[in-house]
Structures are given as structure tokens and as C-alpha cells.
Structure 1
Amino acid sequence: MGDTKFSIFRDEHFIDLTIIQYGYEKCSPLHAFGPYVRNNYLFHYIISGKGKLRANDKKDNMQEFQLQGGSGFIIEPGYVNTYMADEQDPWTYMWVEFSGLRAKECIESAGISYKHPVYLPDTKEHGEELEQEIRQLVYGENTSSMEMIGRLYLLMDKLIRYSSTRKKRQEGKLREFYSKEAITYIANHYAENITVEELARHCQLERSYFGKIFKMVIGQSPQDFLAHYRMARAADFLTTSDRQISDIAVMVGYPNALHFSRAFKQIYGMSPREYRQIHRIIS
């Protein structure tokens, strides 16, 4: 019933915003997804019908939101969410999963978050334009990786400009600069024994202040981001090469293969060997 497309465009040079996957779903009555915790941002735009979203906050308090066609909702990484189609008028929606340095900034600029996940366009016409932008992304044929990134930027632009709860861009250029510097350093040295102290020194900042601004911009602590970055690179190596798992562990900064396997399973929910068997894209 669903139509899902996956992006295999993974390149640290486009770490500001990156598409993970996207798709279309015409749901049957009471069709539900969750409870589930996402590793990335996930935006749904409802074309027609109705449904509800149950979202948990940091204290695990649950809120329920009723939604219908012409609106949308955001799911942030790290929070438990469940969403379900209406029994009488089940919804049809399109969705885009994305991540990157500017992902948190984009959704906050649009006035949505795990606290206020419901997205409402400021006018019906703008809602239709936003829907069309998502359609071009979801149904684009023979779309290049560069074009996909461009489409995602156009989508984020409309998401912000057409939001009824839009927030003005806040001062944060310096924080963003330091965070980008740290991520560039991670991209070039992730195979080494990087510490938060080392990242802070590279940015010429005090450790606790560096950790605070990094999390404000990225939405993850430096330690968590480094772990996810390493495992993303490991996942690439597992699916696109014949290298031994122990060699891949060393390549992403884990001399101990057992520690690597544990860290990989924490993020992907399965061992490196299982991941390779499921997602292998070479013969």
C-alpha cells in the first residue's frame, strides 16, 4: 500500500541537510506505526483523511494530537511516537526523513518541535504549494543526488516561510560556525581516538561551553554525534565493500571489534554482520 523510496546519497560534504528516505502512504483504517523512536527527523504532510499522533516528551509524558488533510507533523529523533489512521476516514500522506547540521534549525524556524509537532500552513494556497514540493521530491524520476539535496532545501524553505507558527531566524551564526568546525574535524579524524576535549580545543572553546552550544545546534551531544557518525560510515563500508568487520571497526575508530559490535547494535538494533546481510548492495 505504501510507496517508499530510499536515498543512498551519503556524503559529509552535504552534511547541512541530507535526505535519508521518503515516500507515500495511503493507509487502511486504524493503520498504525509505533511506538517507535527515530534516529532522524521525519516530516509527514497529510494529503487527505484523518488520523492522530501520540508523542512523548523528555519526561515521557504523552500528548495526543488530532490531524487532518492540509496539515502535517514532525517527529524528532530520540522521542517515542505513535501515529494511527482514522477508522472512518483514514489518512493519506507523504513523508520525508532527513538529518544534518541544519535540520534542527529548520524545524525550529518553522515553529515546530517535539513539544509542538503539528504543522499548519498559513494559507490554503501555501499548503498546496508545499504539497506540490513534496510530490516533486517523492515522485521525481531519475533524480540525481545533487537534485535531491536541492529539492530538500526548497522544501525546507517553504516549510519555514509558509508556517503559521513561523519563528524569526535567531542569532546563532557563531554557534553554527563552531559546530561546523567540529563536524569537519570529526569527518577528517573519525578513525582516530577523538575526545570532546580535543574537539573543544580545536574550536578554541572551553569544554562545557562547547558541549552546550554543539547540542543546541545539532540536537545531540558531541559524543552521541561522533558515535552516530562513525556507525554511519561503518554502515557504508559494510554494505559497499567486502572488508572484514574487524577491519571496518578499526577504520571507524574502534580497535576492539567487540566494542564496535556493541556500539553498532546500540544505534542500528542489530549486529554488523546482520546489517550487512540485510542491506548489502554489492554482489
Structure 2
Amino acid sequence: MNQIYYIETDATHESNFVFDIPQGHPCWLLVITKTPAQFWVNGHLKEYPAHCAVLYEAHQKIYYRACGGQYVNDWLRFSSDETYISKATLPFGVPFALDDPEYCSKLFELLIVEHNFNRDYKESSVDCLLRTLFNKLLESYHHEGFRAQYYNLLKLRTAIQTNPGEHWTVSKMAQSLQLSAGYLQSIYKKTFGISCIEDVINSRIRLAKEYLLHNTLSIAEVAFHCGYHNVEHFCRQFKQFTGLTPGKFQVTNRNLPADSN
């Protein structure tokens, strides 16, 4: 069972802010920074960049402060006997970088809503959100590789999969991340196991299947909505990835969910 005592997002403090509790809280404290900050870690004051998470267990010394300017964070003080928290393989009192801080901040916002309103399924909703939040913390902590670029790569991949019909090119994607085209292709493939252009094509084909099976658009209209300006090219690429032409796929699978093909 989880109990939230207080939760806040975008808590803003002046440059002289210091949070110092030598004996710690009698419960858990989770802090996610949105600006650089200094933390007391292993007997020393160390500076950490923005978008770090730090989890304090009960009665653990807590000390952090602003770092040269305004300090902003999300924070959560809570108790829990859930093993996904008590047995989580996360460090206590040691900040680590978040892969997707925007996603975590949205989870904080949802937790605030659930905490502040006594809805019928409040307890289970809070549990689901906390489980998701701790999954994201674990993913970040155990993630290896291109940590500095990972968040931007994740945003790019989300944009591709959300809007596959956009005019995506390697040069355009690389420019958006201020990387060379060759370097983007290298780290994208190493990070996600697929090239950025393959991701674009897969996303377009997935969207095309949805339109073909659950819409009344013509094949030409489907091609246009999926980012193709040449119907013949769309048909060739669709068949290359599915083994069927769009028309044949539509006739054969009309009564099946698109993701089963």
C-alpha cells in the first residue's frame, strides 16, 4: 500500500535555497531536479545537472541546495510497503540522470490529480502511476550508452511514430538534434536497434494498415496521409514490408486487427 503525504511539481526556489534534514524523513523522499543542484553524496557536496532523480529512504540524511541560480524540482514524500519500491535496485541518496524527464514530470502531474481528489479508484490509480514512475527510474538508472543524447533521440522517435506522415529525412532529423547525419544514424541504430529511416517506414506502414482496415479512404488517400507523394512508391514499399499490395491486404484482412499482421 502507498500513502502520499505531499507531492509538488515545478517547486521553485531562489538561488539561496538549501534543504537540510540531517536525520532525514521518517518515510521515502523522491526528488527530480529541473535545474542544476548540489547534493551531499558520500561525505562531499557534488554538483549535478538538471533532470536528475534522487531517492532517499527513511531516516537518511538529506542535503541539497541551489547551484548558482533559481532552483526548480518535482518532489514526492510518501510511505510504501510495495516491493517495487523497497526492493528497487536504485541507489539511495545518489542522483542519477533521467532518460525521459518530461514523461516523469507528466506522471507527477497525474499523481497530484489522483492524490488531491477522492475518486473511487484512487488507491489503485496511485499505485499504477507509482509503478510506472519507478519503472522509468529503473530504465534510466540501468540504461547504458548515449545518455547525453538519449532524451533527444527518444523525443525524435516519439515524433516519428506519432506523425509518420511528416516529410522525414535523415538530414532533417540530424539538423533538429544538431548532429551530423552519419552520427545520428549510428547512435539511433545502436540505441533502438533500428535505423531512423526504417523507423519512419515501419511507422508509415503501421499507420497505413490502420487506414486500410478501419477507414474508407482510397489507397491514394492512404498513401498521402502516410507521407507518400507517389502512390506507386507506397504500393511497392507496402508490399515489400507486408508481402501484399495495399488492395490485397485490405481484402484479405478486413475483419482482423491491424496489429495481427
TM-score (norm 2): 0.42
CA radius of gyration, larger in: 2
